[in-house]
Structure 1
Amino acid sequence: MDYPPPKSDRMGKSRLFRIFLILGSVFMILLIIIYWDDVGATHFYLHTTISGPHTSRQPPEGNTDPKPKPDTDKEPSFLSDIDAFVNQFLIGTADPTEQVRGEPLASDANQNQSNESKSDEKFVPRREWKIHLTPIAQELRQRQEDRRQMVRGLCSGNSTLDFPGKNRTFDEIPNKELDHLIVDDRHGIIYCYVPKVACTNWKRIMIVLSESLLVDGVPYQDPLDVPTELIHNSSLHFTFNKFWKRYGKFSRHLMKIKLKKYTKFLFVRDPFVRLISAYRNKFEQENEDFYKRFAVVMLKRFGNYSDPPASVVDAFAAGIRPTFSNFIQYLLDPNTEKEAPFNEHWRQMYRLCHPCQINYDFVGKLETLDDDAEHLLRILRVDNVVQFPTSHRNRTVTSWERDWFANIPFESRRELYKLYEADFRLFGYAKPEKLLHE
């Protein structure tokens, strides 16, 4: 005959259970107090993409570790160790009831088993979720606030800075001038790309997030896997200037809704260094298109070549190419803008992204690219989906400015500054006094 456990044992177990319950509740309350985002002590969130889990193709052979390697120079903190520990156990913890695209249903398992030998298709596990226990550094938050305040202040009516288009409304911007605003509806992001400011890698990011490019029916997961020749293909990027064809008379209204609700960002660069980079990329390398459209004009007007070679190959073989001085003369020539607007690679950044009409949430700079990219991806809550690609640093640096401008007359330098003054001031770049005065 079984006897019930003594009353004292039952009371002891009940008391022990209550103690554990109380301790667990206290621990959860403390955790909430410490890490609750609204308190501002830190940034604690569990995040996924709006669209749920994604799949992607396997990385190509020879690229088994496409993700950037961690910065071993940084001293790890206690909370960063916790980040890594927690996230280690969250890989593949998406809702098990959700089916990964391309994954066979259980009812089809037997049928598909016979076809396995016919296909070597592999399925990539669901992307992991991330928990961030470490806060975004206050220094980075303040940096962004300072940059946004700078733009807002100079765009206000009280500012003495004046430049073409400053006071027009968003509705007054022609559609053709909105072609640099890339929209990702899946994650609620708008990116205004500026050529020569890491835009190739940010376009890679946007392609991965929007899943606008598929291989074997599966979207890319690693930005570095996106074929280089397709990155700048305009058909892969849904921009504001395409709204008219899709939405007709409702396009402007929808743009304003998205501008209000989506997170908007751009990246900028020292204006003079950007010009040097554009010249080096387009005129010091064999580029047939830029040679015919721009270099021939520069050579005829400013290079004393009445009949320059017809192709860039012939020109380079003969040692003929426009100098940096010819390039600056071309930019300062009033006839250049009369014939056509500046090419996007040297058009002023404010003309590409309209910061006085669009209230950007994030202003990144090439000079602080690593920190800004990591900060932005956390703000967007997509750092569980993509990482900013590592790349070779652009060799054009500010310290080279004096060498590049050595043969440019001081008067031309001052005219050039006036041409790009709005970019310098809006985005917080110091006036290059040493370059402008003897």
Structure 2
Amino acid sequence: MERALLETRELSEMGVFLASQKRRVLRVREACAQGVSKVSYKLALYNLIADKEQSILFCPIFKSASTSWLIALLEMRGEWTPQNTPDDLNAIRKRVYKILMGFTVGEISYQFYNKPSDQDIFYQNRFLVVRHPFERLVSCYRDKFENANKPYYHELHGKRMMRMYRDLGDNPVSRTEVNNLMARADADPDRERVLGNPFANPVGPTFTEFIKYVVFENLNKENAQFLQRLNAGADVGQRKDNIFSGPPTAEVACSYFSQLDTALLYQLTKKYEPDFKLFGYTPNEYLKCSDEYIQP
């Protein structure tokens, strides 16, 4: 009896989860229809991870649990073991997954919509994981600028980022530094690609048109439910470390944003406006972090 009740509750919770997914996907599609996402298709295709064996198409977003989810997907395939480290990730990814290069937009559309017996089965689970853009930006700053001794990503990209945006790597964040960052990014778009772009940029209109799931990075229960939906909870859950755990980041982010004036915060809000519209986030709680904030 207790087992039956538990199964009924789990089914009910999964129903709530799937209903929330439908609402989010509808929001994304409506926002895209209004022209929120205006980026190149090549960039979007470059970021996709296609796993036919697992029936998964995943768009990893920088600083939105992308490494954790990539490891989870590799675990599901038996390609990741406790002996592996983050230093192995790039090589394993290149070996296991092929980048979707060489496809035109029309070919992608044809594969998803006109061949349901083939491609639709291969890629039933098309998803991305999202995070509040300001938390994502702070996470990027702390991990890639402040934590200069972290070897993995810093060796690949961090040093170049540091040379682009600051003279000394050990100084704390300052208003001047953020102003310089925004000015240089506006003057040279190639610089900006190294940093935390809005979600809409790496995702692009190609993927958002076909998306089926939008998972919120900071909701641990939701991550577990999606793994259950993929029939992979047991495969990933055996890891000793919880890949989706971590301290709340809102307070940490606020401590950084409190050092900026409201004018600069509004500039950042404008920059990440596509994310707010696509996924229903709001900048209000971070605008309040500024010492200059005045209640409207």
How does the TM-score come out when normalised to structure 1? 0.54
Structure 2: 5+ residue runs without aligned partners?
A: 114-118, 149-153
Q: Are residue 142 (structure 1) and residue 19 (structure 2) matched?
A: yes
Q: Are residue 351 (structure 1) and residue 201 (structure 2) matched?
A: yes
AA aligned to 1:204 is I
Q: Are residue 363 (structure 1) and residue 214 (structure 2) matched?
A: yes
Contact 1:298 1:322 survives alignment (8 Å)? no
Structure 1 residues 294-348: Cα deviation after superposition (integer angstroms, max 9, x where no partner): 2233224xxxxxxx5xxxxxx6xxxx34625455334411555625153455011
Identity %, equivalent residues: 19
The counterpart of 1:374, out of the listed 204, 224, 247, is 224
Q: CA deviation at 1:429?
A: 0.7
Structure 1 residues 97-142: Cα deviation after superposition (integer angstroms, max 9, x where no partner): xxxxxxxxxxxxxxxxxxxxxxxxxxxxxxxxxxx99415132222
Q: How does 1:222-233 map to 2 (within 5 A)?
A: 224-233=82-91
Structure 1 residues 78-97: Cα deviation after superposition (integer angstroms, max 9, x where no partner): 3376x7xxxxxxxxxxxxxx
Q: Give me the whole-angstrom Cα distance separating, in 1, the residues matched to 2:105 and 2:89.
A: 26
Q: How does 1:296-311 map to 2 (within 5 A)?
A: 296-300=163-167
Q: CA deviation at 1:200?
A: 1.6
Q: Moved runs in structure 1, 4+ residues, more than 4 A? A: 249-252, 288-291, 334-337
| Structure with max Cα Rg | 1
Q: Give me the whole-angstrom Cα distance separating, in 2, the residues matched to 1:391 and 1:352.
A: 23
Which has the larger helix fraction? 2
Q: CA deviation at 1:252?
A: 6.3
The counterpart of 1:410, out of the listed 238, 245, 262, is 262
The change in CA–CA distance for 1:255 and 1:237 in structure 2 (over 3 A counts) is farther
Q: How does 1:6-405 map to 2 (within 5 A)?
A: 78-79=3-4, 134-137=10-13, 138-157=15-34, 162=36, 164-165=38-39, 173-174=41-42, 176-211=43-78, 213=79, 220=80, 224-233=82-91, 234-241=93-100, 243-244=101-102, 253=107, 256-257=110-111, 261=120, 262=123, 263-286=125-148, 287=154, 290=157, 292-300=159-167, 320-321=170-171, 323=173, 325=175, 328-335=178-185, 338=188, 340=190, 342-343=192-193, 345-354=195-204, 357-368=208-219, 370-383=220-233, 385-387=235-237, 389=239, 390-391=242-243, 393-395=245-247, 397-405=249-257
Structure 1 residues 153-175: Cα deviation after superposition (integer angstroms, max 9, x where no partner): 21224xxx64533xxxxxx612x
Q: CA deviation at 1:191?
A: 0.8
Q: Give me the whole-angstrom Cα distance separating, in 1, the residues matched to 2:261 and 2:163.
A: 23
Structure of higher RCO (CA pairs closer than 8 Å, 6+ residues apart): 2
AA aligned to 1:378 is Q
The change in CA–CA distance for 1:329 and 1:239 in structure 2 (over 3 A counts) is farther
The change in CA–CA distance for 1:388 and 1:345 in structure 2 (over 3 A counts) is farther
- Aligned Cα root-mean-square deviation (Å): 3.3
Q: CA deviation at 1:290?
A: 4.5
3-state DSSP of counterpart to 1:363? strand
3-state DSSP of counterpart to 2:288? helix
Give the number of aligned pairs: 272
Contact 1:278 1:345 survives alignment (8 Å)? yes
